[in-house]
Amino acid sequence: MTTTAVPGTSAPKELAVRWLDLISAGDVEELCRTTSPTWSMAGGPPGLPPGPDGIRALVASFGRIQQRWIIEDVIAEGDRVVVRAVNHCEQDAFLGVPAAGVEQVFAATFVFRIVDGRVEQIWRTAQDLQRLLQLGATIVPRSTRPSMP
């Protein structure tokens, strides 16, 4: 894997870092084993079902992708682990914008809630607008957009 383990981390911290390794590897079955049956995610694709079906839908939403996470910070308090990381990825498209051949680099922060040694919830905040701009997407001001019916 390409993430970097943080020496002396606790089991919840290690699980959160491992989760990003598993996402990078596309290891859906191991992700499902490390995740609660009621898992949920905020800040990812809308409408993900809970638990393993949600994990499968999340990974499927990436399409063809090669990615690696570089961990910058891991902070834990109680049942929460915060991971700040930078992702380097290449995929066919991102949010409908063609992306083949373009390496996207973006930062993201994840808050993991770990319950009984499994990931129960994830809150994700990422630089998705930055990714779109890297792919050549443009922002069209409202005044120049055609009227919506």
**Residue 107 CB burial class (10 angstroms; 0-12, 13-18, ≥19):** middle
Q: φ and ψ at 57, to 5 degrees?
A: -65, -40
Residue 113's nearest CA partner among 10, 15, 30 is: 15
Q: 11-139: which CATH topology?
A: Nuclear Transport Factor 2; Chain: A, (3.10.450)
Q: φ and ψ at 11, to 5 degrees?
A: -55, -45
**Boundaries of every domain in the chain:** 11-139
Confidence (pTM): 0.85
| DSSP assigned state of 145 | S
In order along its 149 residues, the chain shows pLDDT tens digits of 344 444 445 899 999 999 999 999 999 999 999 999 999 999 999 999 999 999 999 999 999 999 999 999 999 999 999 999 999 999 999 999 999 999 999 999 999 999 999 999 999 999 999 999 999 999 888 776 666 66
